[in-house]
A = this chain, B = another copy of it.
Amino acid sequence: MQPDTLHRWPLNAWYQAAWAHEIGDTPFARTLLGEPVVLFRDRNGHAHALEDRCCHRATPLSLGDVVEAGLQCGYHGLIFDGGGRCVEIPGQDTIPPQARVRSYPVVEQQEMIWIWPGDPDAADERLIIDYPYHDDHANWPHRHGRFHVQCSYLLMIDNLMDMTHVPYIHRNTIGAGVPEEQVRATMDVTRTEAGVHYIRWMTDTTPPPAYIQGAGWPADVKVDRWQEFEFIAPGTVTQWTGALETGCGALENRDQPGGISIRNWHGVTPESCSSCHYFWAPANGHRPDDAQATEALYTAIAATLREDIEFLERQQETWGRDPERPMVDIKHDAALKPARRAVERMIEAESGLATAAE
């Protein structure tokens, strides 16, 4: 592993490029994995991703238009199909074979557009994470959020891998109360093939006011509360958070009516070494018929994430001055460290492939 690994990301991997609804019939520009990309839907509604640079005069294709045959450059009218092949040059009968732009494998699945920045031949759709809740608006109504964050995607993943930050970063909002209760939660960490899984339990505890209100509990209720997170390298975290009244056996079965049950999607895609796109979508599993509850959940999560982001962007400034400088590990890094390690393994595997191929 080279010292600049912390700045890098695996290339042979699927990353969330966008929410499906973001890509319409006009070209959509987004820098992904350090490269300018233009996303668009062709006239059949299929999503495509091309390098956002015309091969003729290096103009961004996103300044052009979607036409019948593909994406037309807005400067001199060259048209490229979804595979990046030039199919028309105005005023010219033959098209030279080198007239093409890079295209990226793209898959649309479960309300997300996924992109593969590495070797196209290795792009196996079966590697894309299955997240059925996005297709299940009846039981898991949700809204899609996105933040453009000025920090490395790794700092965002770190943040999601350690919930002991809640009583500190969020000390004036959702983390208000007794820090010790949060800090002393049990924490089970399991390394997985693709990353790391952890679950924290706070049993026989007083829930936060928003939980009491959301579940319709009495004020003196005691609950068993869980925070379950799974990191799938390089950029996805799935979350299931909730609480059931103490005594109803939450530890054995969390799929019970009543209480609180929230699933949250976190898709983190590098934009540059020091910035990322953060896609998130909290699903309301406890009151699926209550649109207002879904909206309130979205609003509350957005406010909480803004507190994280304010912190992470300042952390990026300090960390970014010397990302290789050693950091001191603490006990609560139990999930964070294997998450980072899973990313490093992917990068090492690619380097190994590269070395073997030389």
Contacts and interface: CB of A to CB of B under 8 A. Distances in A.
Contact of A315 (B57, B72, B327): B57
Contact of A319 (B57, B77, B183, B184): B57
B183 A77 contact: yes
Tell me the dominant secondary structure on chain A's binding face.
Answer: loop
Interface bin, chain A: 35 or more
Contacts of A99: 328, 330
A58 B183 contact: no
Nearest to A57: B327
Nearest to A52: B318
Nearest to A184: B91
Contacts of A96: 328
A306 interface: no
A158 interface: yes
Interface stretch (A160-168, A261-269, A290-298): A160-168
A357 to B, nearest CB: 23
A164 B90 CA distance: 9
24 contacts: A36-B318, A56-B328, A56-B329, A57-B319, A58-B318, A58-B325, A59-B315, A59-B318, A60-B314, A60-B315, A60-B318, A63-B314, A73-B168, A75-B169, A76-B330, A77-B179, A78-B330, A90-B180, A91-B183, A91-B184, A91-B331, A91-B332, A96-B328, A98-B328
